[in-house]
Amino acid sequence: MKLLTLETTCDETAAAVVDDRLHVLGSVVASQDDLHRRYGGVVPEIASRAHLERILPIIDRTLQQAGIGLEQLDAVAVASTPGLAGSLLVGLVAAKTLCVVLDIPLITFNHLQAHVYACRLASGREVFPCVGLIVSGGHTSLYRCPNPLEFELLGATIDDAAGEAFDKVANMLGLPYPGGPSIQRAAQRGNPAAYRFPRALVRDTERLDFSFSGLKTAVRYTIAGPGRPDFEKVKLSDQQVADLAASFQEAVVDCLVAKAFLALDQTGMRVLCVGGGVAANARLRQRLAEEAQRRDVQLHIAPKELCTDNAVMGAIAVERFKAGRFEPLDVDIQPGVERKTG
Ligand code: KG4
Ligand code: ZN
Ligand 1 close to Cβ of residue 179 (< 6 A): yes
Q: Is 327 a member of any domain?
A: no
Q: What is the pLDDT of residues 309-328, one digit of tens each?
A: 999 999 999 999 999 999 99
Task: Check whether 341 has a pLDDT greater than 70.
Answer: no
For residue 180, what are the domain limits?
A: 122-306
Domain containing residue 86: CATH number: 3.30.420.40
Ligand 1 close to Cβ of residue 198 (< 6 A): no
Ligand 1 atom closest to 115 (CA): 1
**Which residue did the predictor score with more confidence, 304 or 322?**
322
Ligand 1 close to Cβ of residue 10 (< 6 A): yes
**Residue 34 pLDDT:** 85
Ligand 1 atom closest to 11 (CA): 4
If one counts the domains in the chain, the total is: 2
Ligand 1 close to Cβ of residue 184 (< 6 A): yes
Q: Is 25 a member of any domain?
A: yes
Q: What is the pLDDT of residues 94-145, one digit of tens each?
A: 999 999 999 999 999 999 999 999 999 999 999 999 999 999 988 999 999 9
CA of 322 from ligand 1 middle (Å) equals 32
Residues 155 and 244 in one domain: yes
Taking alpha carbons only, the member of 142, 132, 167 closest to residue 10 is 167
Residues 62 and 162 in one domain: no
Residues 228 and 168 in one domain: yes
Most confident range, picked from 184-193, 226-235, 301-310: 184-193
**Which residue did the predictor score with more confidence, 34 or 72?**
72
Q: Alpha-carbon distance 286 to 288, whole Å? A: 6
Do residues 50 and 43 make contact, with C-beta atoms less than 8 angstroms apart? no
Residues 64 and 142 in one domain: no
Neighbours of ion ligand 2 (CB under 5 A): 136, 309
CA of 67 from ligand 1 middle (Å) equals 31
Q: Do you find a cis peptide bond into 328, omega within 30 degrees of 0? A: no
4-18: average pLDDT: 96
Long-range contacts of 140-143 (CB under 8 A, 24+ apart): 140/210, 140/212, 140/256, 140/278, 141/112, 141/337, 142/208, 142/259, 142/260, 142/263, 143/112, 143/113, 143/116
Q: Is 328 a member of any domain?
A: no
**Residue 233 pLDDT:** 73
Residues 299 and 314 in one domain: no
Residues 246 and 138 in one domain: yes
CA of 286 from ligand 1 middle (Å) equals 17
Q: In percent, how much of the chain has pLDDT > 90?
A: 87
Ligand 1 close to Cβ of residue 314 (< 6 A): no
CA of 236 from ligand 1 middle (Å) equals 25
Q: Alpha-carbon distance 88 to 102, whole Å? A: 21
Q: In percent, how much of the chain has pLDDT > 70?
A: 98
Q: Alpha-carbon distance 54 to 9, whole Å? A: 14
Ligand 1 close to Cβ of residue 180 (< 6 A): yes
Ligand 1 atom closest to 170 (CA): 14
Q: Of 24-28, 42-46, 250-254, where does mean pLDDT reach its minimum?
A: 42-46
Among protein residues, the one with the nearest Cα to ligand 1's atom 26 is 281
Q: Is 239 a member of any domain?
A: yes
CA of 243 from ligand 1 middle (Å) equals 21
**Residue 33 pLDDT:** 82
Q: Is 331 a member of any domain?
A: no
Residues 302 and 313 in one domain: no
210-230: average pLDDT: 88
Whole-number mean pLDDT of the chain? 95
| Residue 229 confidence class, pLDDT cut points 50, 70, 90 | low
Q: Of 182-186, 222-226, 291-295, where does mean pLDDT reach its minimum?
A: 222-226
Residues 181 and 283 in one domain: yes
Q: Is 220 a member of any domain?
A: yes
Residues 171 and 290 in one domain: yes
**Residue 339 pLDDT:** 74
| Residue 230 confidence class, pLDDT cut points 50, 70, 90 | confident
User: How much is the pTM?
Assistant: 0.93
**Ligand 1 pocket: which of 278, 288, 305, 307 to mutate (most atoms within 8 A of CB):** 278
Residues 167 and 268 in one domain: yes
What's the number of CA atoms in the CB half-sphere (13 Å) around residue 85? 1
**Residue 228 pLDDT:** 66
Kindly state the DSSP code that residue 210 receives in the 8-state scheme: B
Among protein residues, the one with the nearest Cα to ligand 1's atom 16 is 277
Q: What is the pLDDT of residues 164-186, one digit of tens each?
A: 999 999 999 999 988 999 999 99
Task: Check whether 29 has a pLDDT greater than 90.
Answer: yes
Ligand 1 close to Cβ of residue 276 (< 6 A): yes
